[in-house]
Amino acid sequence: MDIKITPKKLSGKIEAISSKSDAHRVMIAAALSATATDIKLNILSRDMKATADCLENMGAKIDMSGDTMHIEPIKTPKDNALINCAESGSTLRFLLPVVSALCKNATIVGSGKLPERPLSPLIEELEKNGGGFLTKKLPITTKSKLSSGKFTLPGNISSQYITGLLFALPLLKGDSDIILTTPLQSKGYVDMTLDTLEKFGIKILVTDNGYHIKGEQVYTSPGNIQIEGDWSNSAFWFTADFLGGNVEVSGLDNNSKQSDKAIISILKELSDGTVIDAGNIPDLVPIICVAACGICGKVSITNISRLKLKESDRILSVKRLISDLGGQITATDDIITVYGKGFLTGGVIESFNDHRIAMSAAIASLICKNDVIIKGAEAVNKSYPGFFDDFNLLGGNSYVI
């Protein structure tokens, strides 16, 4: 699907969609609980559905009625389960340790770029502790179950590895330790996981260099739970406001553990010479680059190496996005620099099948002199299926061509 946008400022009030990051975590905890959970959420994105489908294939029962997802937990894990993570990296990395702990001879598959995304050193640590796998990349079939023990990982590879272990290890006989050999990046996402686990009665001890996890804990459902509003996707609307619009976003928790709430302070401080460390906010990089085009000055974003491993190589795709719209940008393996001039020209851009690139392009249109055409705009379905509906609701002029 290709979308054409004629530049217009956006104005109005929009409700934040339910957080994909929070929903993944709550759904997994609910499926591991002793009793059922009702989850309130206002969207079911493609990635959320991937997690729900995987949990059902593991033995949970999930029904969606209106804005409520009802999850009956996994009573007896299915043998020979087929776990299809679709294109969701969070689903894969969160569930790999859980599947290894619970399921016999399960096969984990994925589509799109997901089979190319790394699982090392997580899978090696699972193997050191009893987890057996016929292969180390998708498709993966388990051949023995995970045991408790010590799991040693660098903290700068993927916080998703830590989250997956934190979900799985409380289920095992015996205590476990996660030992981090380097400082933890994207710490806010692990804090979200710890918050979810606490809501479901799981106790995790934070140590000087990682986490200590008591074994044989029981997930206890709170019965009803509301998914937080999504700061990551709300960042697009805050940037639309920054670029000359008048947009308000409701339904967000200022006390959220979501790291991407940093977008508020970033936009307030954005000026010539600003340097932004993306270590804890990698998903904000595309839209920050768009915002930087709206000022007159140089903005640098550092600590970006992990962007290569997202839905697209976001170092490449962000550079293409800005340059194809007439902006000036340079990029190396660990720094992006945008030379803003207050406007962009417009043009045709590729989404690279990356939801954040497609949505960033739409917001970039607000400062373009000419129309913007986004090729492969259906990529937004991964996290925000109604994005272009909301864009038009705020006064935007986007339509399928």
Catalytic residues: 283
Q: How far apart are CA 194 and CA 205, in angstroms?
A: 10
What lies within 8 Å, CB to CB, of 290 at 6+ separation is 239, 243, 321, 322, 360, 363, 364
79 φ/ψ sector (left φ>0, alpha ψ -120 to 50, else beta):
beta
Please, are residues 325 and 347 in contact by the beta-carbon 8 Å criterion?
yes
Spatial CB neighbours of 90, under 8 Å, sequence gap ≥ 6:
20, 21, 24, 47, 51, 160
Which residues, 6 or more positions from 116, have their beta carbon under 8 angstroms from its beta carbon? Answer: none
Sequence-ordered list of residues with C-beta below 8 angstroms from that of 65, at least 6 positions apart, any chain: none
The CA distance from 258 to 21, in Å, is 8
**172, 216 Cβ separation under 8 angstroms:** yes
d(CA 364, CA 31): 40
Taking the CB of residue 396, how many other CB atoms lie within 10 A of it?
Answer: 24
CA distance 77 to 53: 14
The closest alpha carbon to 189, from 279, 275, 55, belongs to 279
Q: Which of 383, 339, 346 is nearest to 361 (CA)?
A: 346
Cα 214 to chain centroid, rounded? 27
Please tell me the distance from the alpha carbon of residue 104 to that of residue 388, in angstroms, as a whole number.
Answer: 42
